[in-house]
Amino acid sequence: MTETKNFPTLSFEVFPPNSEVGVGKLTDTLDQLKGLNPSFISVTASNHKLNYEKTTIDLAKYVNDTLDCPTMVHMPAAYVTKAEVSSILDQLEAMHINQILALRGDIVDGYTPETDFTYASDLTKFIKQQKPYFEVSGACYPEVHPDSKNRIDDVKHLKEKVDSGCDQLITQLFYDNEQFYRFQEECAIADINVPILAGIMPIVNRKQALHVIENCAAHLPKKFINILDKYKDNPVSLKEAGIAYAVDQIVDLVTNDVNGVHLYTMNKSDTAKHIFSNTASLFNLEAQVEE
Ligand code: FAD
């Protein structure tokens, strides 16, 4: 895909805000991200049926047009029909966007999923049939998807997903690189040979830290827990330590030849810029960030 020869890729994820204020803030964020020259910026899809085109697709258009940056659109299979996907693919083609992260999507309580696609692999296959030149990425889980029976089953289904047409995989966030390395080995054994981008989400505030502790299935190393404990009442230090932890993870991943790093920015450009200025040369990018 968009990998620079011999260097890993760096990409960012943003999500569509749900208010006018949020839209204004995100526009500023995206302006700030301009010039960091990421391999691509991905735009998430919310887990409800309404307004996919008015949120995800509109924001993707903005990123693609305004930042002139390769753009990836998240598409949740559980929330779209075949007819809707066909229409969206045409729209994306007209916008010169050809990267999709094909997902099943998170199913919220009370929602009955659309039935045209059961799994992300069904959507991947459909996209590749409709528009073969579209680049389709898939999600993967170094610490196993919560619905899976076990690691073996999860990797088996991942292999089917890749064989259905995935060009690249992006991982769920993790805070313990050893989990990622183990997963890479399992993929190699299963003959999964597409690039795997490591999803990194820096901790930058207490609310987010608590959310991760309560909801995240990821293993949280002692070093990470210590940071959260020690700086729980000191927002400035928590943010600095959270960013330093993410930088440390990234340096280790790149040293171990990761294919790419996908940064969950949480729509915070200052965090992305801090991380960028500390790691740019690892990605063969130039740090041009004013601190
Ligand atoms: P799938 O690949 O379909 O897998 C789901 C489960 O089904 C897994 O347990 C898998 O092992 C199993 N499975 C797969 N195929 C089969 C089969 N043939 N038979 C039996 N079992 C099978 N959610 C959103 O709503 N919006 C987003 O924008 C979004 N972005 C994400 C970005 C990334 C990088 C990641 C990692 C996740 C994202 N998610 C998003 C969350 C994702 O939608 C959920 O984790 C969802 O529960 C699973 O999606 P998937 O594409 O991995 O599903």
Q: Residues 220-231: pLDDT tens digits?
A: 999 999 999 999
97/110 Cα distance (integer angstroms): 33
Contact 1, 195 (CB under 8 A): yes
Contact of 66 with 32, CB cutoff 8 Å: no
Amino acid at 161: K
Higher pLDDT pick, 23 / 102 = 102
More confident call, 54 vs 199:
199
Structural element, H or E, at residue 260? strand 260-264
Task: Please give the pLDDT value at position 21.
Answer: 63
> Could you tell me the two tokens for 196?
């795997």
Residue 213 binned pLDDT confidence (cut-offs 50, 70, 90): confident
Residue with CA closest to ligand 1 atom 45: 106
Among the listed ranges 39-53, 142-156, 252-266, which one has the minimum average pLDDT value? 39-53
Contact by Cβ (8 Å): 264, 15: no
pTM: 0.96
Q: Going by CA atoms, what residue is nearest to atom 11 of ligand 1? A: 154
Say whether 103 sits in a helix, a strand or coil. strand
Q: Are 74 and 103 in contact (CB under 8 A)?
A: yes
Between 34 and 221, residue with greater pLDDT: 221
Which residue among 143, 145, 154, 197 is best mutated to probe the pocket of ligand 1, counting the most ligand atoms within 8 A of its Cβ? 145
* Residue 80 scores a pLDDT above 90: yes
Q: Is the CB of 103 under 6 A from ligand 1?
A: yes
Closest CA to 58 of 29, 88, 80: 88
Closest CA to 260 of 170, 147, 140: 170
Rounded to whole angstroms, how far apart are CA atoms 207 and 160? Answer: 37
Query: Residue length, the chain?
Result: 291
Q: Is 43 in the pocket of ligand 1 (CB under 6 A)?
A: no
Say what the pLDDT of residue 66 is.
84
Ligand 1 pocket residue status of 44, Cβ below 6 Å: yes
**CA 214 / ligand 1 centre spacing (Å):** 20
Which ipTM was obtained for this model? 0.99
Q: Is 105 in the pocket of ligand 1 (CB under 6 A)?
A: yes
Q: How confident is the model at residue 286 (pLDDT cuts 50, 70, 90)?
A: confident
Residue 3 bears catalytic tag: no
For the residues 95-120, what does the mean pLDDT come to?
93
Question: pLDDT class for 4, splitting at 50, 70, 90?
Answer: very low
Rounded-to-integer distance, Cα 178 and Cα 163, Å: 26
**What per-residue confidence (pLDDT) applies to 288?**
58
Is residue 158 a contact partner of residue 102, using CB atoms and an 8 Å limit?
Answer: no
Region 150-176: mean pLDDT is 97
- What is the residue with the minimal CA distance to atom 42 of ligand 1? 105
Contact 37, 285 (CB under 8 A): yes
Q: Which of 89, 104, 67 is nearest to 135 (CA)?
A: 89
Predicted confidence band of residue 28 (pLDDT cuts 50, 70, 90):
confident
Q: Is the CB of 157 under 6 A from ligand 1?
A: yes
The residue contributing the CA closest to ligand 1 atom 17 is: 157
Cα torsion 290, 36, 199, 64 to 10°: value is: 140
Q: Kindly give, in sequence order, each residue whose CB lies less than 8 Å from that of residue 91, ignoring residues fewer than 6 positions away.
A: 53, 57
Q: Is the pLDDT of residue 169 over 70?
A: yes
What is residue 6's predicted lDDT score, i.e. its pLDDT?
Answer: 80
pLDDT(254) > 50: yes
Instruction: Write the CB contacts of 122 (distance below 8 Å, at least 6 apart in sequence).
Output: 77, 116, 164
Mean pLDDT, the chain, whole residue set: 91
Catalytic residue among 13, 114, 135, 143: 13
Task: Tell me how far the alpha carbon of residue 36 lies from the centroid of ligand 1, in angstroms.
Answer: 29
- The phi and psi torsions of 171 (rounded to 5 degrees) equal -85, 155
Is 10 within 8 Å of 285 (Cβ atoms)? yes
Domains defined along the chain, listed by start: 9-283 (3.20.20.220)
DSSP 3-state assignment of 263?
Answer: strand
Q: Is the CB of 161 under 6 A from ligand 1?
A: yes
**Which residues, at least 6 apart from 17, have a Cβ–Cβ distance to it below 8 Å?**
23, 25, 26, 267
Give me ligand 1 centre to Cα 147, in Å: 9
| Cα(104) to centroid(ligand 1), Å | 5
